[in-house]
Amino acid sequence: MFEHFDERARRCITQTHEETGRLGHEEIGAEHLLLGIAVVDDVLIGAGPERLRAAVVALQGVGPGAEPGWTQFSAEAKAALEGANAQALALGHTTIGPAHLLLAVLDADGVARRVLRESELTVADVRERAIAAAGRPAPEGPPSGSAPGQEVGRDDARDLRDRETLELMLVADTPAARLLRAHGVDEAAIREALGPRGPS
């Protein structure tokens, strides 16, 4: 699940586990992901981990702790982790950073949003910071140093895989599909970006 996470996003996951254990909670929720992101990059959220941690405790208290072993992710947290991939794809990015993860946490709704409100933050402001931090996809073009008219080859296997992945994601009315369409990624955009599908 984490193969496309960059180094900072992986640190967010590590910190998420530590924060969950620190609070004695038996399951990792989207609110713990929020805490993990804040430990790695508090500027991204607009509040430090201490402030957010206090809000989590105010809402959920301190638990008895989980059984020895790797704490499980809640359904909400799993949805956020999967949504981070969709957020990155929608922005044309190949790796997932803390900003993509934060955007997915915000879309997961639930306790994470309540934690932000308890911390006197608005979801809209946090989302705006996350989008700015994630950035927009860079315009495509030949790499610097290419001779005029030189054709830059594509990795056809990768393009086919990307096309099939996006097309499959757009088939059903899922949160990921709605997110991609909201960012202008539809069948027409796929054809424009990757060209017409070749003969099967």
Tell me which CATH homologous superfamily contains domain 7-134. Answer: Clp, N-terminal domain (1.10.1780.10)
Phi, psi dihedral angles at 6 (to 5 degrees): -80, 180
* Number of Cβ atoms within 10 Å of the Cβ of 3: 6
The residue-averaged pLDDT of 88-112 equals 91
Could you report the per-residue pLDDT of 119-174, keeping only the tens digit for each? 999 999 999 999 999 985 434 444 334 343 333 333 444 444 455 555 555 555 55
Cα–Cα distance for residue pair 7/5, rounded to 1 Å: 7
Domain ranges (residues) in the chain: 7-134, 156-194
Cα–Cα distance for residue pair 194/140, rounded to 1 Å: 12
